[in-house]
Chain A
Amino acid sequence: MVENAPDVVAVDAATMVFNEGKANQVDALVDVDLHVAAGDFVSLIGPSGCGKSTLLRLIAHLLEPTGGELAVNGKTPDQARREGDYGMVFQQPGLFDWRTVQKNVELPLEIEGWDRRRRAERAKEMLDLVRLDDFYDHMPWQLSGGMQQRVAIARALAAQPSLLLMDEPFGALDEMTREHMQAELLRICAAERTTVIFVTHSIPEAVYLSSRVVVMSPRPGRITDEIAVGLCADRNEDSREDDVFFKRITEVREALRAHHGDQQPDGGPRRGIEDR
């Protein structure tokens, strides 16, 4: 990575208040700073209500912040969105069930105005990458949940966005599929050299995937810790047995607990955080 490369994401003192001044005012985010460099894989983790999804939505310009500065590739989030800098994956695959798998992957390319032949080529390439090359003519509802989410990832990356935003993308999958999808995601991101911001509830998921884990805490939503993970770049299923892996899991868990120790006298994990 070049030393002085501009940040892909620069969030400075971002604040998001819902229902300001009313009785039901919610301080979703207060004074949040986050800088993500090209090629980073950053996970946002924290209990429900810590504002991690809100932060993701601010970066994606699905929400307008009530205070602070945001820049994506040196542009405003609105500009970045219009220029197709984003790929998004949600907890539900959100595929269009009247389009074939291939046509679903082509969707962002259609919006960017690619011609038909190039669209088809790129979609097949992406389906190859997520190992669904036999399914391009299937309908989404004919696929399993894990396969549908892989189509969603292929769709998000098809137009080569510089930033992939994922909001608990594997939250609805069973444990086996989930671990498999995590390994797949690492492989795909390495191949596409994508920068990723990944919202999750799961500590092992965050540690396994990320170059950096950002720990958040609620009421008001803020960032409390940032932990560099430092697993080797070519980690695989065996890395889950690694000492470093367990060490980092403990670190993240303690960082999460540091701000809630008073509320959790038994020392158990807080509600909303998965230890698996």
Chain B
Amino acid sequence: MSLAWRAARRTLLFLVALVLVASMWELYKLLGPEDGGEVFGWRIIPKTNDRAMPHTWEMVSRLTEPEVRGRDQPIWQAVLGYGWYTFRMALVGLVVGAAFGMSLAVLMTRWRVVERGLLPYVIASQAIPLIALAPQVAALGGNWDLPKWVWVSTLSAFLAFFPVSVATLRGLSATPPIALELMESYGASWWRTLITLRFPAAVPTIVPGLKLAATGAVIGVIVSEISTGVRGVGFAALTYGQRATSDPAQVYTAVFGAAALGLILFGLVVGLEMLLMRRRPPEATH
């Protein structure tokens, strides 16, 4: 199947899914109870009034109206600006996190004792709630004269490094033994073997880790923005959400922005994958 055809099919499927989600939203809004409902005393049936569930077309048309009454700039431009800022922080977080995660994996592959000592901490690090960590890191950052975005990117890298590190560790330890013996018979050094054999052989395993890291990096930035007050798309979502009573559709413009961001960063990783895997055997690519 040609690449263009595959891309076209994916885009079509994406649009179909989007229409499906929107129709389900509208269908429930049409049929569901205006003021929600109870099941065995639990208020879990969502309300369908315009404040809780604005119409999908209102969310879309809201994009062309200004952020607050009286301004000229339509809100999509404002969201785009916030999003661009968030995107750059997430990209830095992804790159730094991936580099850090891969370095950790290399250390753990080189010295088994490092793996035994470090891996529990690597895993434990992911149990720390980011929402609790973010203000601490930001407060700590006050001691250095660095811009705030550096700390947001650091927190984003903190989420991104984990899947990359685990995937790389797995990939680096799954090198075919025959290939390792071959390198050994040539008298190749450990680092030489790492660069020439272990890393390239691990690429198909590392890429899925990078995909997880891409979405993790965006989540990391958005959560950290909220607790550090850095003005990206997460901050916008918080501000718009506070106006939900008077302007319920507004918060969804920020949600669209955040979702698009995640997709774009994910798309970058897919692009990288296509570049790295273009001459690999067909069964190794997805």
On whether the two chains bind one another, the answer is yes
Q: Which residues of B contact A107 (CB under 8 A)?
A: 186, 196
Number of interface residues of A (CB under 8 A): 26
Q: Are B197 and A96 in contact (CB under 8 A)?
A: yes
The answer, among A81, A110, A139, A141, for a CB contact under 8 Å with B185, is A81
* Mask of B90-132 contacts with A, CB within 8 angstroms, 1/0: 0000000000000000000000000000000000000000000
A141 to B277, CA, bound (A): 13
Q: Are B179 and A60 in contact (CB under 8 A)?
A: no
Name the residue of chain B whose CB is nearest to the CB of A139: B279
Q: Are B192 and A111 in contact (CB under 8 A)?
A: yes
Q: Are A82 and B187 in contact (CB under 8 A)?
A: yes
Number of A-B contacts (CB under 8 A): 57
A107 to B176, CA, bound (A): 16
Is there a chain B Cβ closer than 8 Å to A83's Cβ? yes
Chain A residues numbered 193-248 whose CB sits less than 8 Å from any CB in chain B: none
Q: Are A94 and B178 in contact (CB under 8 A)?
A: yes
Q: Are A111 and B281 in contact (CB under 8 A)?
A: no
Q: Are B187 and A84 in contact (CB under 8 A)?
A: yes
Is there a chain B Cβ closer than 8 Å to A86's Cβ? yes
Name the residue of chain B whose CB is nearest to the CB of A109: B186
A97 to B279, CA, bound (A): 8
Is there a chain A Cβ closer than 8 Å to B35's Cβ? no
Interface residues on B, range: 20 to 34
Is there a chain B Cβ closer than 8 Å to A258's Cβ? no
Q: Which residues of B contact A111 (CB under 8 A)?
A: 183, 186-188, 192, 196
Q: Which residues of A contact B188 (CB under 8 A)?
A: 111
A149 to B68, CA, bound (A): 71
Secondary structure call for the A interface: loop
Q: Are A86 and B281 in contact (CB under 8 A)?
A: no
A165 to B186, CA, bound (A): 12
Is there a chain B Cβ closer than 8 Å to A48's Cβ? no
Is there a chain B Cβ closer than 8 Å to A108's Cβ? yes
A5 to B181, CA, bound (A): 30
Q: Which residues of A contact B284 (CB under 8 A)?
A: 97
Asked whether A94 and B192 contact (CB < 8 A) given A60-B185, A84-B187, A139-B279, the answer is no
Is there a chain B Cβ closer than 8 Å to A135's Cβ? no
Is there a chain A Cβ closer than 8 Å to B182's Cβ? yes
Nearest-neighbour CB distance to chain B for A153, whole angstroms, equals 13
Is there a chain A Cβ closer than 8 Å to B280's Cβ? yes
Interface of B with A (CB < 8 Å)?
A: 176, 178-179, 181-188, 192, 196-197, 200-201, 203, 279-281, 284
12 examples of A-B residue contacts, CB within 8 angstroms: A62-B184, A81-B186, A81-B187, A82-B187, A87-B185, A90-B181, A96-B197, A96-B200, A97-B284, A98-B200, A111-B186, A111-B192
